[in-house]
Amino acid sequence: MSRQLKIKISVPFSFNVIFARNVFSSRDFLKNFFISPGSIEKKKVIFFIEDTVAESFPDILEKIESFDSKTKGIELVHPVFVLPGGEQNKNIKEAVKICSILSKNKICRQSIVAVVGGGAFLDTVCFAASISHRGVCQVRFPTTVVSQCDSGLGVKNAVNLFGKKNFAGVFFPPSAVINDFAFLKTLAPRDINSGLAEAIKIAVIKDSSFFSYLEKNTENIRGDNSPILEKIIVRCAKLHADHISDSGDPFEFGNAKPLDFGHWLAHKLESMSKGKMRHGEAVAVGIATDSFYAMKKGLLSKGEFERIINILKSYSLPIWTPFLGKKSKGRLSILDGIAEFREHLGGKLSITLPSGIGSKIEINKIDCKIIEDAFIYFKTISSK
């Protein structure tokens, strides 16, 4: 006779995404993120800051370190750790280095890992925090457009491994996300545009009026004090947050990953470029290619397709790159991205395509000939 026990678990998560400016100038404001009401125990807080951010904001370390001594309920680990970020450092070696810092500083499950940096840095530190003691709480301070409107508020933490994007990773939600717009003022135009690729992505598949707003404002988005850029970040973050909380599948147990429109190609392209292309730039090429595919399948009209290509070009985003022409054994290497995406999803391919602007469908097969035609088309128009 066999026996079985059924174990049913449901674990609710909730966290706030706060939009603010110059949070490190106000000690009280920060206190709110680290001390829960009624808490009597001191929270140990360890800060990790991406080196580029520490260089761009030279007083940030002093501001954070001075915050400890007069604030009840918080024990800040000294010093604040400044580490390299960017895609080149989003790897297991850096993650293990961070785990070792957490171990040496006796960080426990009741402590808080606070992380300030771009998407790649957040992914690396949060992955390390998520695997230490089976998950240490994270408070994230994203400093780029991509991380403020998408990655920072996501529930996925991963590093690249075996030449594959995000191969080693876990699902672990943050405890709070603080989008401080003041960080955007030192971003290079390239990184602002790169972030807007994620906004274009989600507008194409979910929100036609947001798409029109992006079209209207191509000239109005420039760095700090751009109210338009801030509006775009808030809207884009809300669309991503709504998807995570309302899709019924925040931890992606199913095959479909609708927010990954354009990403089967983007992830492979990022790996092939060895970090030379920004995530958003690779996503832009992915959006262009998959929109061409959708047009050929009758899902987008020629006019809608052209609106998508024009908006990418208006934000100086690429629609083609020579990396797409790289071959291995007579076959375009980029096409391996389809099999890798399928493997990552769990065996069954599911690719999101736009179906008109503002809605989407999933397809389960890809005709590589149409993808190759897309590359030829974009190469030709890019060289004109």
Is 286 among the residues that bind ligand NAD (CB under 6 A)?
Answer: no
Candidate list 34, 48, 67, 121; residue touching ligand NAD; CB under 6 A: 121
> Minimal CA–CA distance to 106: which of 45, 64, 48, 39?
45
Closer residue to ligand NAD (CB): 262 or 280: 280
Per rule CB under 6 A, count of chain residues that contact ligand NAD = 30
Question: Which residues neighbour 132 within 8 Å (Cβ) at sequence distance 6 or greater?
Answer: 99, 102, 103, 107
Helix, strand, coil shares of the chain, percent, nearest 5, are 50, 15, 35
CA distance 139 to 361: 34
Is 141 among the residues that bind ligand NAD (CB under 6 A)?
Answer: no
Q: How far is the CB of 301 from ligand NAD (least distance, A)?
A: 29
> Minimal CA–CA distance to 321: which of 378, 362, 249?
378
Q: State the DSSP string of 181-198.
A: GGGGGG--HHHHHHHHHH
Q: How far is the CB of 83 from ligand NAD (least distance, A)?
A: 11
CA distance 277 to 167: 19
Query: Are 46 and 74 spatial neighbours (Cβ–Cβ below 8 Å)?
Result: no
Candidate list 111, 144, 175, 352; residue touching ligand NAD; CB under 6 A: 144
CA distance 192 to 145: 6
Is 350 among the residues that bind ligand NAD (CB under 6 A)?
Answer: no
Candidate list 47, 85, 180, 354; residue touching ligand NAD; CB under 6 A: 85
> Minimal CA–CA distance to 119: which of 345, 283, 290?
283
Closer residue to ligand NAD (CB): 283 or 374: 283
Residue keyed to tokens 């003041």: 182
Closer residue to ligand NAD (CB): 147 or 291: 147
Residue range at the interface with ligand NAD (CB under 6 A); choices 92-100, 243-251, 276-284, 363-371: 276-284
One-letter amino acid at 62 equals E
Here the contacts of 299-306 (C-beta below 8 Å, separation 24 or greater) are 299/353, 299/354, 299/355, 299/356, 299/361, 300/354, 300/355, 300/356, 300/357, 304/354, 304/356, 304/357
Query: Are 374 and 305 spatial neighbours (Cβ–Cβ below 8 Å)?
Result: no
Closer residue to ligand NAD (CB): 138 or 144: 144
Give the tokens for residue 290: 């998959």
Candidate list 18, 29, 43, 56; residue touching ligand NAD; CB under 6 A: 56
Here's the x/- map for ligand NAD, 162-201, by CB under 6 A: it reads as ---------------------x--xx---x--x-------
Closer residue to ligand NAD (CB): 44 or 90: 90
Is 52 among the residues that bind ligand NAD (CB under 6 A)?
Answer: yes
DSSP 1: -
Is 290 among the residues that bind ligand NAD (CB under 6 A)?
Answer: no
Closer residue to ligand NAD (CB): 186 or 212: 186
Residue range at the interface with ligand NAD (CB under 6 A); choices 32-40, 118-126, 223-231, 320-328: 118-126
CA distance 37 to 26: 19
Candidate list 156, 206, 257, 307; residue touching ligand NAD; CB under 6 A: 156
Is 371 among the residues that bind ligand NAD (CB under 6 A)?
Answer: no
Closer residue to ligand NAD (CB): 102 or 115: 115
Of all residues in the shown chain, the one whose CB is closest to ligand NAD is 119
List the interface residues with ligand NAD, window 235-274 (CB under 6 A). Answer: none
Q: How far is the CB of 302 from ligand NAD (least distance, A)?
A: 30
- Note the residues at the interface with ligand NAD (CB under 6 A): 50, 52-53, 56, 85-87, 90, 117-121, 123, 143-144, 146-147, 150-151, 154, 156, 183, 186-187, 191, 194, 278-280
